[in-house]
Amino acid sequence: MFPIGTQFPEIEVVTTHGTMNLPKDMKGKWFVLFSHPADYTPVCTTEFVAFQKRMPEFKKLGCELIGLSIDQVFSHIKWMEWIKEKLGVEIEFPVIADDCGKVAETLGMIHPAKGTNTVRAVFIVDPKGIVRVIFYYPQELGRNIDEILRAVRGLQVSDEKGVAIPAGWPDNELIKDRVIVPPAKDVATAKKRPGEYECFDWWFCHKPL
């Protein structure tokens, strides 16, 4: 395992789109790397369809999608063919074939109680190759892809505007689609805050995006 805020490890991977070097090949782009326990499994199939249907929204954010499981590349390809034939959805993002498990082990994706299966891990990586978010889900719980999309969008807004993002943004219970102004770091700034922004108190001020 490696913590949020550290460099994504340099790895060469074999995918359904050919060999890739991460994070080098994604330099200048955001990317979401997500693992699934295995091909030809129901929950994973629903996730792949959900990721694909939201791929245009990720693309608008300059964010690429990359899947991974401990299966061989031919298994990935046949599963993609099955999804297209049976469900009418063509999977367009690359899927890493980690049949030796080395990538999953490097990234801490191995489920401790499920043999060699990978957990439902998600890594959101920024254009500098820095890991910004890590999500982990058990095998029995499918992911909310909209939350992953929201996380990418929220990070980009935070980076660009120097603000913090409230819970459930852009539909927060307290401030709706507004964003949070970073807390004051000195007494003088704290005193001025209520006159500059809408505030619940000097340490909790917010503004329109």
Q: What's the Cα-to-Cα distance from 69 to each of 81, 181, 199, rounded to whole Å?
A: 17, 40, 47
- Bridging pattern class, strands 179-181 and 63-69: unpaired
Query: Is the backbone of residue 47 left (phi > 0), alpha (psi -120 to 50) or beta?
Result: alpha
Please say whether the beta carbons of 58 and 64 come within 8 A: yes
DSSP state of 34: E
Read off the tokens for 34.
């997500």
CA 119/CA 69 separation, integer angstroms: 9
Torsion angle in degrees (nearest 10) through CA of 169, 31, 132, 176: -10
Residue numbers annotated as active site: 44
Determine the 3-state secondary structure of 104 from DSSP: helix
